[in-house]
């Protein structure tokens, strides 16, 4: 099965729609790694898109924070303000959908979490050492994580417990996942943080075990205009132009 892996939509509808158009008929299923809302201007519309397209998702820290399930004191000022705004906007239907999101999902060889296998909501998986520490918490050979908004691949070769290779993923990069253990991060749809403002996602084939990184341009200024109208923090509006 061809599967599109998306993460960290952050209520950026223009970016989500551009990615859904790019996916088109290329994938039979779409898996989402959480942070559907928070930061961006269109939380209800993004939740509705997921429901319309039958996209399965796990919960992210921003989804929980906007539901009041996390203490906002752990967020920086801009994130806190955006969360409060989002909480006011969420419809009953959106709220119910977000409440129903699990912390992790497992499909055959694949585990889906927002942060990491040991800390699904909070941990940022950025270093090979942290990946090695997470392996005992991972029941499958392959794992998909989001949360950092940076596209990355970690590979632990067969028989190794102390070696993990890290690779940044660029547009068009392809991987073969046939041996060893892999943790892949598709980057972010709605707020990329690797210096490339284009929305990021990953295509995986669960039979051939191939993965392909994809970047998609979207009308950033449409999202920025909506954020300005909503009175969301200037920093959050600015950063979308640069992808940081
Ligand atoms: Zn996020």
What are 101-119's pLDDT values in tens digits? 999 999 999 999 999 999 9
Q: Give a yes or no: residue 91 inside a domain.
A: yes
Q: Give a yes or no: residue 244 inside a domain.
A: no
Please give the distance, rounded to the nearest whole angstrom, from the Cα atom of residue 165 to the centre of ligand 1: 24
Query: Locate tokens 């129903």: which residue?
Result: 100
For residue 160, give its domain range.
Answer: 2-239
pLDDT of 73 reads 85
pLDDT of 161 reads 83
Please give the distance, rounded to the nearest whole angstrom, from the Cα atom of residue 193 to the centre of ligand 1: 10
Asked whether residue 71 carries a pLDDT value surpassing 90, the answer given is no
Q: Give a yes or no: residue 67 inside a domain.
A: yes
Task: Tell me how far apart the alpha carbons of residues 149 and 145 are, in angstroms, rounded to a whole number.
Answer: 10
**Helix, strand, coil tally for the chain in percent (to 5):** 35, 25, 45
Task: Tell me how far apart the alpha carbons of residues 88 and 73 are, in angstroms, rounded to a whole number.
Answer: 18
Q: Give a yes or no: residue 80 inside a domain.
A: yes
pLDDT of 160 reads 87
Q: How many domains does the chain have?
A: 1
What is the band of 18 on the pLDDT scale with cuts at 50, 70, 90? Answer: very high
What totals of helices (H) and strands (E) does the chain contain, helices first? 8, 12
Cα–Cα distances in angstroms (integers) from residue 149 to residues 10, 110, 111, 185, in the given order: 11, 20, 18, 8
Q: Give a yes or no: residue 23 inside a domain.
A: yes
Cα–Cα distances in angstroms (integers) from residue 167 to residues 33, 44, 114, in the given order: 20, 35, 19
Which residues are placed with Cβ below 5 angstroms of ligand 1, an ion? 8, 35
Q: How high is the mean pLDDT of the chain?
A: 97
Q: Assign residue 141 the CATH number of its domain.
A: 3.60.21.10
Q: Give a yes or no: residue 59 inside a domain.
A: yes
150-206 pLDDT, tens per residue?
Answer: 999 999 999 888 899 999 999 999 999 999 999 999 999 999 999 999 999 999 999
Q: Give a yes or no: residue 220 inside a domain.
A: yes
Q: Give a yes or no: residue 70 inside a domain.
A: yes
Please give the distance, rounded to the nearest whole angstrom, from the Cα atom of residue 160 to the centre of ligand 1: 31
Task: Tell me how far apart the alpha carbons of residues 56 and 175 are, in angstroms, rounded to a whole number.
Answer: 24
19-23, 52-56, 68-72, 225-229: which has the minimum mean pLDDT? 68-72
Please give the distance, rounded to the nearest whole angstrom, from the Cα atom of residue 35 to the centre of ligand 1: 5
73-105 pLDDT, tens per residue?
Answer: 889 999 999 999 999 999 999 999 999 999 999
């Amino acid at each position: 099965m061809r599967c599109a892996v998306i993460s960290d939509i952050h209520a950026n509808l223009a970016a989500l729609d551009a990615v859904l158009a790019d996916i088109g008929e290329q994938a039979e299923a779409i898996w989402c790694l959480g942070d559907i809302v928070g930061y961006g201007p269109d939380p209800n519309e993004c939740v509705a898109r997921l429901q319309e397209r039958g996209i399965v998702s796990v919960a992210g820290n921003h989804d929980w924070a906007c539901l009041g399930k996390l203490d906002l004191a752990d967020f920086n000022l801009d994130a806190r303000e955006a969360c409060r705004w989002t909480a006011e906007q969420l419809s009953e239907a959106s709220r119910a959908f977000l409440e129903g999101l699990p912390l992790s999902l497992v499909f055959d060889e694949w585990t889906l979490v927002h942060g990491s296998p040991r800390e699904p909501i909070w941990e940022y998986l950025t270093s090979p050492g942290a990946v090695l520490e997470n392996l005992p918490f991972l029941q499958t050979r392959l794992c998909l994580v989001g949360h950092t908004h940076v596209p990355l691949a970690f590979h632990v070769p067969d028989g190794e417990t102390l070696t993990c290779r890290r690779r940044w993923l660029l547009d068009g990069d392809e991987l073969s996942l046939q041996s060893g253990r892999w943790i892949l991060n598709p980057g972010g749809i709605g707020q990329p943080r690797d210096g490339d403002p284009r929305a990021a996602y990953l295509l995986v084939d669960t039979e051939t075990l191939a993965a392909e990184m994809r970047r998609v341009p979207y009308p950033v200024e449409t999202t920025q205009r909506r954020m300005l109208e909503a009175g969301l923090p200037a920093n959050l509006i600015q950063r979308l132009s640069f992808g940081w």
